[in-house]
A and B are shown apart, each in its own frame.
Chain A
């Protein structure tokens, strides 16, 4: 019976983890992580502001989201890969770090918010695609996304202050 703690230390003992943790690989991954995270936020910001009815009010919501969300996902994938690379160097320590725990919770909330939006009001987007001010549900999703992702940034930045 293997516990989670064993799994974290197994990760930490991978040759790759040692390689990253003891070299310039770590700051390289971290700088790419920050770069991709800012790109995730920069692209989501534009979509969220459209959902809120604050910006690009004359443009179809699907036109904005269709051209930007693939970039958000691509940058998010890079952030996950680079983040995982940093994570395995000290998996157990990160899992006990309150800022890291909050960051994971916020990421989960971001996912739930996105899924609820996608399978909820976005399902009927044809009805409000051109609306300068989208539906209440869409505006809520946009506002929640902005707040949650700003929180992810803050929690992520806080991780390094608690080690």
Chain B
């Protein structure tokens, strides 16, 4: 562990939000699975919005819908859902930063998540700027494919955080 990482973990562990999150998780019966369920339900909204749009752009789903309309209607759901995913995730994270920051799967998850979120924003802008669909179809399809794979990777890596030992055995 690097010194900077140790300092970051120490800083979070000595903060008031850390104490609050740890208290809530430890003292309210059922709070941990409830926070995790908010996290998963938020991810479900991401699946029902951006991932479904990816499948549509790839020609696999929703044949009767138009991409610009789907983007306009569904992508607000993506961003609102991601807010709740972030808040629930932060609650778990600040309670035990040491558990996550040293976990390779946590790093992999965010290495996939950041480009996935950036791509979603780029995709939304592209469709807004060019609602005629046809012109940038090739670019949109490429983005959709990468986006789809990234989100699948994010979700699987997220679940594997608890099983990092299988892939990276502790020395």
Interface residues of A (CB under 8 A from B): 23-24, 26-27, 30-32, 34-35, 37-39, 41-43, 45-46, 55-56, 63, 67-68, 71, 150, 153-154, 157-158, 161
Contacts and interface: CB of A to CB of B under 8 A. Distances in A.
Query: How many B residues are at the interface, by size bracket?
Result: 20 to 34
Nearest to A150: B41
Contact of A27 (B34, B61, B166): B166
Given A27-B160, A45-B48, 9 more contacts: A26-B163, A27-B166, A35-B155, A42-B48, A43-B52, A45-B45, A46-B52, A55-B73, A158-B30
A24 B41 CA distance: 25
B14 interface: no
A147 to B, nearest CB: 12
B40 A157 contact: yes
A70 B14 CA distance: 50
Contacts of B44: 37-39, 41-42, 45, 153
A158 B159 contact: no
Q: DSSP majority for the B interface?
A: helix
A38 B65 CA distance: 22
Contacts of B37: 150, 153-154, 157
Given A32-B156, A56-B73, A154-B33, A39 B166 contact: no
Contacts of B73: 55-56
A20 to B, nearest CB: 13
B47 A39 contact: yes
B45 A157 contact: no
Contacts of B156: 31-32, 34-35
Given A24-B166, A24-B167, A67 B63 contact: yes
Contacts of B43: 38
B62 A67 contact: yes
Interface in B39-90: 40-41, 43-49, 51-52, 61-65, 73
B160 A31 contact: yes
B41 A63 contact: no
25 contacts: A24-B163, A24-B166, A26-B163, A27-B166, A31-B156, A31-B159, A38-B44, A38-B47, A39-B47, A39-B48, A39-B51, A41-B41, A42-B45, A43-B48, A43-B52, A45-B48, A46-B52, A56-B73, A67-B61, A71-B61, A150-B37, A153-B37, A153-B41, A157-B36, A161-B32
B64 A34 contact: no
Given A27-B166, A34-B155, A42 B40 contact: no
A125 to B, nearest CB: 17
A36 to B, nearest CB: 10
B142 interface: no
A124 B61 CA distance: 26
Nearest to A66: B64
Given A41-B41, A67-B65, A30 B47 contact: no
